[in-house]
Amino acid sequence: MDWEQLDVNPKVVAAVKKANIKSATDILTFSGPDLQRMTKLSSPDVHHLQNVVSAVLRKGSGTTGAVYICTEDAFPSKRLQQLINLQHKLRSDVPFDVIKKIRFGDNIFIEHAADIDMLNECITKKVPILLLRGSVRLIVIDSIAALFRCEFAASDSVLRAKHLQTFGAKLHNLSSRFLTPVLCINQVTDTVREVDCIQSNFGQVDKTVSPALGISWSNQLLVRVMVARTQATAPQACAGSVLRTMEVISAPHIPRSVCYYTVHLEGVKGIDENVQS
């Protein structure tokens, strides 16, 4: 990438060159504070420079990927490879030779976070670089509850709520700045008493579970979706598969609704037909 491609003040370019940064692409290998220290530029100038370089790279990028952050078990790499190998069956509408040319694994970035500090470093330092480069367009965190339930005791609910709010604000900032969806997986817990179910199931009528992190985390979400297995019979075309539901619990732009799907070796398939209980 040439400096002439960047719509920035020449003084900014001169400061970057003086800092011995030879290529515009190299800008995205540094964090904002590091660039400020190296170039002596102001924070707004550095922020604008990074955004301009990122926009040029995204415009010229043919494919984008996702970053998957694991907080519990090891990433299921075998399952991922299985999905990649069977993509031609899932996407039968795409020519086989086209599917085979796509290197799906090259566009998936895996990060393991064993504690909240590692997760915070990943969100604040590593993920922004991938977003600036245009390498990813989806952030998946699996799962949120794992770390926050382990590192905080029941008596630390106020401190945990503050950490959740701070963490949620950082994710909102990334999503808004880069127009990138963030998918946070959260476990559910059983609701012990029926009288509590109506009060604490966060809109999930007739459900006997509630989000594991409670209202502190629920308030950070824009869209809440619940997935679950059912006792219903799958259509004949999906015989042998467990029928599952995906339910929109709350969202500002779409009504509450439910759809059915099944999980196969080649991936997830939606169900259009009527199902029987």
Give backbone dihedrals phi and psi of 244, rounded to 5 degrees, phi first: -125, 160
- Indicate the length of the chain as a whole number: 277
Cross-strand pairs, 209: 190
Residue 193, domain member (yes or no)? no
Indicate if the pLDDT at residue 177 is higher than 50. Answer: yes
Q: What pLDDT shows up at residue 197?
A: 45
Do 25 and 112 fall into the same domain?
no
The CA-to-CA distance between both ends of the chain, in Å, stands at: 58
- What does pLDDT average to over the chain? 82
**CA–CA gap between residue 216 and residue 145 (Å, rounded):** 12
Residue 229, domain member (yes or no)? yes
Edge-to-edge strand list for the sheet holding 108-112: 108-112, 65-70, 136-142, 182-185
Q: pLDDT: is 26 or 173 the higher one?
A: 173
Closest Cα to residue 72, out of 150, 155, 166, 137? 150
Do 61 and 134 meet the contact criterion of CB atoms below 8 Å apart? Answer: yes
Do 150 and 171 fall into the same domain?
yes
Do 71 and 177 fall into the same domain?
yes
Residue 206, domain member (yes or no)? no
* Pairing of the two strands 136-142 and 182-185: parallel
Do 145 and 178 fall into the same domain?
yes
Contacts (Cβ under 8 Å, ≥6 apart) of 258: 245, 246, 247, 248
Q: What pLDDT shows up at residue 204?
A: 47
Indicate if the pLDDT at residue 192 is higher than 70. Answer: no
Q: What pLDDT shows up at residue 66?
A: 94
Give residue 206's region: left, alpha or beta (phi > 0; psi -120 to 50). Answer: left
Q: pLDDT: is 197 or 6 the higher one?
A: 6
pLDDT in tens, 6-26: 778 888 888 888 888 877 777
Do 226 and 154 fall into the same domain?
no
Cross-strand pairs, 210: 189
Q: Which two tokens stand for residue 153?
A: 């005791």
Tell me, yes or no, if the pTM score tops 0.85: no
Cross-strand pairs, 224: 250
Do 44 and 93 fall into the same domain?
no
Could you say which DSSP state residue 93 is in?
T
Do 114 and 149 fall into the same domain?
yes
Residue 213, domain member (yes or no)? no
Residue 191, domain member (yes or no)? no
Residue 199, domain member (yes or no)? no
CATH number of the domain where residue 130 is located: 3.40.50.300
Q: What pLDDT shows up at residue 45?
A: 87
Half-sphere exposure (CA, 13 Å, Cβ side) for 222? 12
Domain tally, the chain: 3
Cross-strand pairs, 184: 141
* % of the chain residues with pLDDT over 90: 23
Structural domain including 69 reads 63-185
Last residue of a domain, one of 185, 213, 245: 185
pLDDT in tens, 215-245: 888 888 899 999 988 887 777 777 678 889 9
Do 44 and 96 fall into the same domain?
no
Residue 190, domain member (yes or no)? no
* % of the chain residues with pLDDT over 70: 87
pLDDT in tens, 53-110: 877 776 655 557 899 999 988 889 999 999 999 988 888 878 888 888 888 888 899 9
Last residue of a domain, one of 158, 185, 212: 185
* Cα dihedral: 13, 17, 23, 27 (round 10): -70
